[in-house]
């Protein structure tokens, strides 16, 4: 089977893991975690990086650290992985679902329109006219590694005391061209994921990014059980067992050595898809933003209605040929636990889901496999 995205783990990783196991530091202590954090700080330019045991836990805490309070509302895209929305619910807040732009990211213009037309300001905070609840944050996902265009939104949110939290789970390596800033470092906090299907993996793992020293300190405290006294075990707050393990960090350090190689491979894979798919009538590769240098984490196929197969027929055909493809996520505002929450003029996201398909994008894809994918798409 040609996987959608499989990890590429080389021999170097075994050396790192062996050393870690031999040291006995296999749990949430050990200096490999600090080393891994420092490397992520260097790559992303974030002043602080705090390692977590998943992208989901990093998101949960990022929202908490941003000061969202129980019964607040958080604006979020309907088109994102469910973990982004669950993180809002873990904080006892309600999501307000937004539409997508053509890069599958939150529609910034509609979000600003919503803020202008559907909220009122009180003491500089924004309240939803309909529910009377405070809107304290906007959670933005950089979907498939495509950088969301945040400039206008950042300005609008500053006026309204709304914090932007970035779900950069899929966008390690994606930067804005103009200022070279890394995705996940524009808002108050950002979260990365190192799940096995991401551009680098730690098995399971995540990272909180922030430039705010107070929040970084609090993040370290909350991820390690909020221990106020390590000898007498005094805990003045409810903490979490969210710190990354040293074993995960060992794998992460070896993976980071390959990051530039993965990014190059992904560029080549994208170039292959762009040039070949343009030859197939009524299929095209989804465009990526011009304003950013993409990590090309996942390539998306756009299927025109006139194509000889429907989206589902194409999925079946590819799977029968041992090529793993999948539709983009079912939209969150249509998911059972979230149906009751407000959503705003969602149109484009529905179109995108109907017409899109995720294509295999592992850095290990061979030329032979790529050709097979192309042949099966065109046959
Ligand atoms: C957009 C997005 N958000 C959040 C997550 C959650 O990350 P994790 O699986 O590390 O908890 C993922 C990936 O799994 C993701 O793709």
pLDDT at 124: 86
Say whether 194 sits in a helix, a strand or coil.
coil
Distances from the Cα of 106 to the Cαs of 5, 66, 330, in angstroms?
Answer: 24, 20, 15
Write out the chain's pLDDT in tens, 379 residues.
999 999 999 999 999 999 999 999 999 999 999 999 999 999 999 999 999 999 999 999 999 999 999 999 999 999 999 999 999 999 999 999 999 999 999 999 999 999 999 999 998 899 999 999 999 999 999 999 999 999 999 999 999 999 999 999 999 999 999 999 999 999 999 999 999 999 999 999 999 999 999 999 999 999 999 999 999 999 999 999 999 999 999 999 999 999 999 999 999 999 999 999 999 999 999 999 999 999 999 999 999 999 999 999 999 999 999 999 999 999 999 999 999 999 999 999 999 999 999 999 999 999 999 999 999 999 8
Q: How far is the CA of 169 from the centre of ligand 1 (A)?
A: 6
Regarding the beta carbon of 193 and ligand 1, being less than 6 Å apart is answered yes
Q: How far is the CA of 150 from the centre of ligand 1 (A)?
A: 20
Strands 206-210 and 292-293: unpaired
The answer to whether the CB of 101 falls within 8 A of the CB of 348 is yes
Regarding the beta carbon of 141 and ligand 1, being less than 6 Å apart is answered yes
Q: CA quadruple 326, 327, 333, 336: dihedral positive or negative? A: negative
Q: Kindly report whether the global pTM for this prediction surpasses the value 0.75.
A: yes
Q: How far is the CA of 332 from the centre of ligand 1 (A)?
A: 14
Tell me which residue has its CA closest to atom 7 in ligand 1: 55
Q: How far is the CA of 324 from the centre of ligand 1 (A)?
A: 19
Tell me which residue has its CA closest to atom 12 in ligand 1: 169
Q: Which residues pair with 163 in a beta bridge?
A: 137
Going along the chain from its start, the domains and CATH numbers come out as 11-257 (3.40.640.10), 259-378 (3.90.1150.10)
């Amino acid at each position: 089977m040609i996987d959608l995205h499989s990890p590429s783990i080389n021999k170097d990783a075994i050396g790192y893991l062996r050393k870690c196991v031999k040291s006995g530091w296999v749990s949430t202590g050990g200096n490999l975690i600090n080393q891994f954090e420092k490397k992520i700080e260097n790559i992303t330019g974030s002043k602080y990086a705090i390692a977590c045991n998943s992208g989901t836990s990093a998101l949960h805490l990022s929202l908490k650290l941003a000061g969202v309070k129980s019964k607040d509302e958080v604006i979020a895209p309907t088109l994102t992985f469910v973990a982004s929305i669950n993180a809002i619910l873990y904080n006892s807040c309600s999501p307000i679902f937004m539409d997508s732009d053509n890069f599958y990211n939150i529609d910034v213009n509609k979000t600003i329109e919503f803020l202008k037309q559907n909220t009122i300001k009180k003491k500089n905070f924004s309240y939803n006219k309909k529910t009377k609840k405070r809107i304290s944050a906007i959670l933005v996902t950089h979907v498939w590694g495509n950088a969301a265009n945040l400039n206008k939104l950042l300005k609008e949110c500053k006026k309204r005391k709304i914090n932007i939290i970035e779900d950069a789970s899929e966008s390690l390596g994606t930067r804005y061209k103009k200022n070279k800033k890394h995705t996940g470092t524009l808002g108050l906090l950002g979260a990365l994921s190192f799940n096995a299907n991401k551009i680098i993996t730690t098995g399971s793992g995540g990272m909180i990014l922030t430039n705010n020293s107070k929040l970084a300190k609090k993040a370290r405290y909350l991820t390690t059980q909020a221990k106020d006294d390590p000898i007498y075990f005094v805990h003045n707050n409810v903490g979490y067992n969210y710190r990354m393990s040293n074993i995960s960090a060992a794998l992460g350090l070896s993976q980071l050595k390959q990051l530039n190689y993965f990014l190059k491979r992904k560029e080549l894979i994208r170039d292959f898809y762009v040039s070949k798919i343009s030859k197939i009538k009524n299929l095209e590769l989804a465009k990526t933003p011009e304003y950013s240098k993409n990590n090309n984490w996942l390539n998306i196929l756009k299927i025109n209605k006139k194509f000889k197969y429907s989206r589902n027929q194409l999925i079946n055909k590819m799977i029968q040929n041992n090529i793993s493809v999948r539709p983009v996520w079912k939209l969150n505002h249509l998911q059972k636990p979230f149906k009751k929450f407000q959503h705003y003029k969602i149109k484009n996201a529905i179109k995108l889901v109907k017409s899109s398909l995720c294509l295999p994008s592992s850095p290990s894809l061979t030329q032979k496999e790529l050709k097979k994918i192309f042949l099966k798409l065109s046959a």
